[in-house]
Structure 1
């Protein structure tokens, strides 16, 4: 069929104009070229598609059947071209992003707002999953790129380190005697500690830190979200391990304070992951560039 696409285009022009000569004018080609193209197509399909009348040409029964499909096919191609033009002009399309709840709320949200203001016709679809699940969605082709906690290694991924995160322990007035005092990992372990659940990348990172200090940390509470960690610290139920950037309001107001852990926990990073050798849509690439430029 691909060898006869021009023939179908000529066929459609003849059917719509009712004349070989007018079809040639519409297509900016010669009438002999139109006749030759039609002859090849009719030979290919096994019979005549037009018959001549005193007023021009008319479709045969076979030609009328063919016209319904050819007209629809070219209409679909025109619509596809229009859609692609809209996407390249950021007048349509969808960007699919994966990120966990905390990263979406505290890190990604400002970029989503900025993108939406610049390109209101492009839809943003956010899937909230853990870093491990985000990578799985990426490999399944369900998202364009993901925001994950690092470190991560996978030969199928392009991993771009993006922003540093600083993990700290925070507490309220119940533990005021620890404020502005250096606290070792061993000393901290004697207090009621509140941490994320074990399946989180942050928890694994903190566990490795305490292992390096030869300290076994047994949390009093294990919770599923950063917001709960902050709320539990406010109530005085214990000392919570959180990411500093996600507790800025409580730390700035003095409602909570950060312990001076010695040595401090080394910073970790979040990253943006994409599939290697898989091109992004124009809209997804624009969103990714917006994130990386800031």
Structure 2
């Protein structure tokens, strides 16, 4: 079996459906069925049955499917180590990044890196910070960029901090905040807890939630159109004219900050490509990237 066969078993076990598996792997259903028959012939067992409720795996097939993830992981590590022996900066970097970091920082960062190392490719996964934390822990990605203070026992580097603020197109009195329409958005639990803690320290009544939206960028657009206020990191608000911002402070008067970290495993530094990338990020002046991003927002 080659890595393609293991990938077929992995995806089929996840999907439990021939059609969806074929679509996910960009192959035809007849080709997929043929490969499954070859795998069954190689091991001399029946792997799965097609039923009215989808694909049902046999005990032997389920064991092979569960082995697929580890086998693919081992194959990937072997390929990376072989590439590393050439002592050149080439190969594929697997990165995980929060949606927030991807929105602002990741594109210019990767552009600058690839400009110096054109033989490097990237495989990027964008999701919530808590999920990126898990991907790094399981070594499914080489490095993670998270926008929350998640507990991490491996290597971590603080990239930048930014204040969180109340944003509104109209001037507001903070003391009257519980009575004003607020726009909420989905975010990582740690960021939500940070904002909720600030609220509880100041108000005995809950906020008046006027809207529940899916993403931070949607909240920004609602605020921009005067539909309520939002509590969000200030970076996303750059370029909005006549916007009123009030920065959050804790009981000691210290600014409430959102921190963005790079996290990774120490052992990955044995790989030449990864070591070069980490050192590149460490030397990066994220203030310069922030200025580029801010300028882009103003131009737009």
Q: Structure 1 residues 191 and 81, CA, compared in 2 at 3 Å: closer, same or farther?
A: closer
Which of these residues, 163, 180, 183, is aligned with residue 191 of structure 1?
A: 180
Question: What does 1:10-25 align with in structure 2 at a 5 Å threshold?
Answer: none
Equivalent residues of 1:98, 1:145 under 8 A apart: yes
Work out the CA distance in 2 between the residues paired with 1:260 and 1:208: 15
Q: Cα offset for 1:154?
A: 3.4
Deviations 1:152-190 (CA, angstroms, capped at 9, x unpaired): 2133x3232221021112122xx2x43xxxx43x42222
- Contact 1:137/1:143 (<8 A) preserved: yes
Specify the alignment match of 1:233 in structure 2.
223
1:200 Cα deviation after fit: 3.8
SS at match of 1:161: strand
For each residue in 1:181-235, what CA deviation from the matched residue of structure 2 results, as whole angstroms up to 9, or x when unmatched? xx43x42222111132265432221111112224433432232322111111122
- What's the offset of the Cα at 1:109? 2.1
User: Is the alpha carbon distance of 1:82 and 1:193 closer, same or farther for their aligned partners in structure 2, counting shifts above 3 Å?
Assistant: closer
Q: Provide the C-alpha distance between the structure 1 equivalents of 2:258 and 2:80, rounded to a whole number of angstroms.
A: 44
Residue correspondence of structure 1 range 35-184 to structure 2 within 5 A: 83-86=83-86, 88-90=87-89, 92-155=90-153, 157-172=154-169, 175=170, 177-178=171-172, 183-184=173-174
SS in 2 for 1:195: strand
Sort the Cα spacing of 1:148 and 1:80 in 2 relative to 1 into closer, same or farther, 3 A.
closer
- Residues 204-223 of structure 1 aligned to structure 2 (within 5 Å): 204-215=193-204, 216-223=206-213
Please tell me whether residue 283 in structure 1 is matched to residue 273 in structure 2. yes
- Closer, same or farther: CA 145–218 of 1 in aligned 2, 3 Å: farther
Question: Where does residue 56 of structure 1 map in the other structure?
Answer: none
The residue number in structure 2 matching 1:256 is 243
Structure 1 gaps of 5+ residues are: 1-78
SS at match of 1:219: strand
Instruction: Give me the TM-score of the superposition, normalised by structure 2.
Output: 0.60
Counterpart residue number, 1:41? none
Superposition deviation, residue 122 in structure 1: 0.6
CA distance in 1, matches of 2:256, 2:82: 51
Tell me: CA distance 1:170–1:264, structure 2 relative to 1, closer, same or farther (3 Å). Answer: farther
- CA offset at residue 283 of structure 1? 1.5
Q: 2:260 aligned with 1:270, yes or no?
A: yes
In terms of Rg, which structure is larger? 1
Q: Tell me, in whole angstroms, the C-alpha distance in 1 between the residues paired with 2:80 and 2:124.
A: 26
- CA shift at 1:276, angstroms? 4.7
Q: Root-mean-square deviation (CA), in Å?
A: 2.6
Q: Compared with structure 1, are the counterparts of its residues 289 and 246 closer, same or farther at alpha carbon in structure 2 (3 Å cutoff)?
A: farther
CA contact (8 A) 2:157 2:261 kept: yes
For residue 289 of structure 1, give the secondary structure of its aligned residue in structure 2. Answer: helix
Contact 1:195-1:203 at 8 Å conserved across structures: no
Q: Which digits, 9 at most, give the CA deviation of each residue in 1:51-106, with x for residues without a partner?
A: xxxxxxxxxxxxxxxxxxxxxxxxxxxx99984454x221x211111112221121
